[in-house]
Amino acid sequence: MRTITLIPGDGIGPEVAFAAQRLIDASGAELNWEIQNAGACMIERFGTPLPESVIYSIRRNGVALKGPITTPVGEGFRSVNVALRKELDLYVNLRPVKTYRGIPSRYENVDIVIVRENTEDLYVGIEHMVGGDAAESIKVFTRKGCERICRYAFEYARREGRKKVTAVHKANIMKCTDGMFLGIARDISKDYPDIKFEEMIVDAMCMKLVQSPESYDILVLPNLYGDIVSDLCAGLVGGLGFAPGANIGNDCAVFEPVHGSAPDIAGKNVANPIAMMLSGVYMLRYIGEIEAADRIEKAISYVLSEGTVKTSDLGGSFGTKEFTDYMISRL
């Protein structure tokens, strides 16, 4: 029986994390859950929002399911998510987006996977003030980082039967950093003649995604662009409430929704748990629990297509708990 590290998070994190846990347990997957806490509530006790016990648990178990954790804006501690990715070398951030029948959207047949580099770029956090009137942040790309994320995108495309990889960049302006990323993507594409390769400047990519998102399959991007474009793509299919995510390295993986902790609605039983549930689906597939993953995803598709049981963000009246109860009844 596989043991999974469960990190409830804060804000709405515990509500959606335990909803996903309940659904996964009802799906037939045989798992043990090891609960580990992280976030602002840990600072007083441990002096850090990310205690060593959390890192140790993930290393030992190899897989974690994580709820959102609040990151202060402009002050306070750095992102726990960024720290986890760097500490565990989770260099792939996988963010799939797809349209579901029953979710309001002006688009149809969107099925895009964002493959985002997860450990480099401006997110290395090297920044400082220059005197009192200027600030400087350093953008870091390495050949190793570019090679492994581009290779992963093509391997994922081949494994999942995908047809096209688009490398997204700003190499026309940043010729060293983005130029290296693009050059490496071009070189690696030659090893995959069965996969169509194209390249797109990031601002043009945003326009094209709004115009014809169904034309794209897999996007591989540096860290910052991947973060921004993945939220844009989520908006195409109904919002962050339907956007799961995975952080994958060679030895560990952490699965979490793309959305934040929404502290303004925490504890009110109104949060939409679907993104967390879909993150659980990808976790189950990662560990080989394919039948349970398929049951959950089919149940989610069925309930959304029914259009009668919805959380408040979808115009419905079902709370997080009640929505989860109904989802379990439809497995």
- Show which residues are catalytic: 123, 170, 203, 227
CB of 68 within 8 A of CB of 9? yes
Q: 330 is written with which tokens?
A: 């439809």
> Strand pairing of 127-130 and 134-137?
antiparallel
Q: 251 is written with which tokens?
A: 């030895």
CA 239 to chain centre: 13
> Strand pairing of 164-169 and 218-221?
parallel
Residues 224 and 110: their CA atoms lie apart, in Å, by 22
- Give the 3-state DSSP-derived string for 124-156, with helices as H, strands as E and coil as C: HCCEEEECCCEEEECCECCHHHHHHHHHHHHHH
Residue for token pair 């190793």? 144
Tell me the one-letter amino acid at 284. L
CB of 236 within 8 A of CB of 97? yes
At residue 99, the 3 state secondary structure works out as: coil
CA neighbor of 6 nearest in space, from 137, 16, 17, 15? 17
Residues 209 and 105: their CA atoms lie apart, in Å, by 14
Instruction: Give CA angle at 16 (13, 19), nearest 5°.
Output: 140
Residues 27 and 13: their CA atoms lie apart, in Å, by 21
